[in-house]
């Protein structure tokens, strides 16, 4: 399970009313994409910073969320393995 305690998005002007829906869709996209950790396993990161994610002007909330989710999944897959096995 992936747990995100705090998600900070810097969205372009005019996107503020869409932020809640975009964040919800990012979580939904990540839930579908992220590999499952083994039973009792965990990964803890204090922070994961991404490079800016560019999307087309007029992109839908789902398109924005998909691009951000792709960037998060890619960044997580390149993090050195900090998983711990069953305790």
CA dihedral for 4, 6, 59, 68, sign (positive or negative): negative
Residue 26 lies in a domain: yes
Token code pair at residue 58:
């007029």
Residue 84 lies in a domain: no
Residue 11 lies in a domain: no
User: pLDDT by residue (tens digit) across 25-83?
Assistant: 999 998 887 766 555 566 778 888 899 999 998 899 999 999 999 999 888 877 775 44
Distance of alpha carbon 20 from alpha carbon 43, whole angstroms: 26
Domains contained in the chain, number: 1
Question: Residue 63 is part of which domain span?
Answer: 16-77
């Amino acid at each position: 399970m992936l747990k995100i305690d705090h998600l900070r998005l810097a969205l372009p002007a005019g996107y503020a009313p869409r932020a809640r829906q975009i964040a919800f869709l990012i979580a939904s996209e990540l839930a579908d994409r992220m590999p499952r950790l083994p039973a009792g396993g965990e990964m803890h990161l204090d922070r994961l910073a991404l490079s800016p994610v560019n999307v087309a002007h007029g992109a839908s909330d789902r398109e924005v969320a998909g691009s951000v989710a792709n960037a998060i999944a890619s960044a997580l897959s390149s993090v050195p393995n900090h998983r711990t096995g069953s305790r």
